[in-house]
Structure 1
Amino acid sequence: MEPFVLRSPEVTLSVPTAADVDRVAEVCTDPDIARWTTVPSPYTRADAEGFITQFVVQGWQQERDFTWAVRAPGTVDGPVLGMMGVSIRAGEPGSPLSGEIGYWTAPDARGRGLTTAAGRLVVDWALDPDGLGLQRLQWLAFVGNWPSRRVAWKLGFRFEGTMRRHGLQRGRLLDDWIGAVLPDDVREPVEPWPAEAPAV
């Protein structure tokens, strides 16, 4: 599949290129990204080069991992404000096609609703029969990652529970939260925000 651009009045999603290597390397040294994702830590420029020239390029070529850089509206090559992607999940032959969403946001772009706006574009495409046509799109986050959970909640993901020692981060097993959205689900909050969540 050839990479393509997704747009809304709030954001533009375009595939990251070699021109984004320095910005990705800078952003991925952020302590919160290191804490809540599986990116290498410490993160180097070589890591950013490998991410863009190998993972991103091969993912699109193999139609397995679809990754976009989140940018300001109206530009396909502006500064990277975040990253958003969908990965196909392998299942039994003949089983319904499912995927997993993933995202991070640059520190200087947080609190502006950009990740939620980008997520709406990607969720709609992933579940649309004329898009990827997934029958289930799931969200995973390490337990305690409330910013990620808030985005998923706004996008209509139904919280399904906690999976103990399910997530692997740089050699450590961690507990995962899991949620999912299906094609016919309402893509807006449908559950109360958890009472135990800290104020944000």
Structure 2
Amino acid sequence: MRFELVGEKRGYHHPNSTERWTSRSLRTRKTRCRGHRCDAIIGRVEEQTLTDGTIWLGRPDADDIDAIAEACQDPEIAEWITIPWPYRRTDAEEFIGTTVADGWAARCPIWAVRTAERGRLLGTVSLGTRPRDETAAEIGFWLHPEYRRKGIISRAVTLTCDFGFDPAGMSLIRIQWRAFVGNHASAAVARKHGFRYEGLARLGSDHRGTRRDHWVAARLHTDPPGPAGEWPVDI
């Protein structure tokens, strides 16, 4: 499966990262992407929708605030993702107005996951980079409980990784995944998509003021996309 660009838009939700996003200088080169003219930009990512014909990934906007606020009432999302809790509508407004805007401006794209180009937001998927390390990113994702176990997040991860590694996308060399210990559902997605287990970080993450252990896995641009072996049997 490959991503397809569907045109460009104008105009603390990340499940794994606690880094602040900062803007950086732009360097642009022209390239070609699946028959579409597009810009591969070091320093930011052009806002564009990705699709495989079944799901669509596009930038969340103000129309998605209510859907985000509803989904984030799920205690399981609060258990595994660094969102405020209890989660209020104002938190969704801040996510759209600040986190999403700052992320796209700083080469940390956040996409809404939909099953139609202008359909309801079902979840998000993101790639977060760090300053001065723009060939590596960390993937994060969550999905409304009603739409889990339908292959939706799996398709979203495929599109995101394809775009991340593609020279016409973000030209990444490494995509990292991490999750709090016990998040077996997220681990299953990472393992399925070729992320190789790299270890346990003891008290490696902060979750609303509490240190927690997390698992780490990664996929390189040279790694095959299929299921990865050598994961611990209890993960």
- Find the partner of 1:81 among 118, 122, 128: 122
Amino acid at match of 1:12: W
Counterparts of 1:146 and 1:90, CA distance in 2: 30
Once the 2 structures are TM-superposed, how far is the Cα of residue 80 of structure 1 from its aligned partner?
A: 1.2
1:8 and 2:8 are equivalent in the alignment: no
Q: Aligned residue for 1:66?
A: 109
Counterparts of 2:153 and 2:82, CA distance in 1: 18
Once the 2 structures are TM-superposed, how far is the Cα of residue 9 of structure 1 from its aligned partner?
A: 2.9
Q: Aligned residue for 2:152?
A: 114
Amino acid at match of 1:62: A
Structure with the larger helix share: 1
Q: Cα RMSD (Å) of the superposition?
A: 1.4
Structure with the larger strand share: 2
- Find the partner of 1:98 among 136, 142, 157: 136
Counterparts of 2:65 and 2:114, CA distance in 1: 15
Q: Aligned residue for 1:189?
A: 227
- Find the partner of 2:94 among 38, 41, 50: 50
Q: Percent identity?
A: 41
- Find the partner of 1:127 among 165, 182, 191: 165
Contact in 1 for aligned 2:196/2:230 (Cα 8 Å)? no
Counterparts of 2:168 and 2:67, CA distance in 1: 33
Q: Aligned residue for 2:81?
A: 37
Q: Which structure would you say has the larger RCO, counting Cα contacts within 8 Å and 6 or more residues apart? A: 2
Q: Aligned residue for 2:67?
A: 23
Contact in 2 for aligned 1:66/1:87 (Cα 8 Å)? yes
Amino acid at match of 2:79: R
Once the 2 structures are TM-superposed, how far is the Cα of residue 43 of structure 1 from its aligned partner?
A: 0.4
Contact in 2 for aligned 1:89/1:97 (Cα 8 Å)? no
Once the 2 structures are TM-superposed, how far is the Cα of residue 76 of structure 1 from its aligned partner?
A: 2.3
Contact in 2 for aligned 1:96/1:135 (Cα 8 Å)? no
- Count of residues in Structure 1 that have an aligned counterpart in Structure 2: 191
Counterparts of 1:86 and 1:110, CA distance in 2: 21
Counterparts of 1:96 and 1:109, CA distance in 2: 32
Contact in 1 for aligned 2:196/2:231 (Cα 8 Å)? no
Once the 2 structures are TM-superposed, how far is the Cα of residue 162 of structure 1 from its aligned partner?
A: 0.4
Give the TM-score taking structure 1 as reference length. Answer: 0.91
Gaps of 5+ in 1: none
Once the 2 structures are TM-superposed, how far is the Cα of residue 57 of structure 1 from its aligned partner?
A: 1.3
Counterparts of 1:116 and 1:23, CA distance in 2: 20
Counterparts of 1:96 and 1:132, CA distance in 2: 8
Once the 2 structures are TM-superposed, how far is the Cα of residue 81 of structure 1 from its aligned partner?
A: 1.3
Counterparts of 2:217 and 2:233, CA distance in 1: 17
Give the TM-score taking structure 2 as reference length. Answer: 0.78
Deviation beyond 4 Å, 4+ runs, structure 1: none
SS of match in other structure, 2:91 = helix
Q: Are residues 17 and 36 of structure 1, via their aligned partners in 2, closer, same or farther at CA, if it must alter by over 3 Å?
A: same
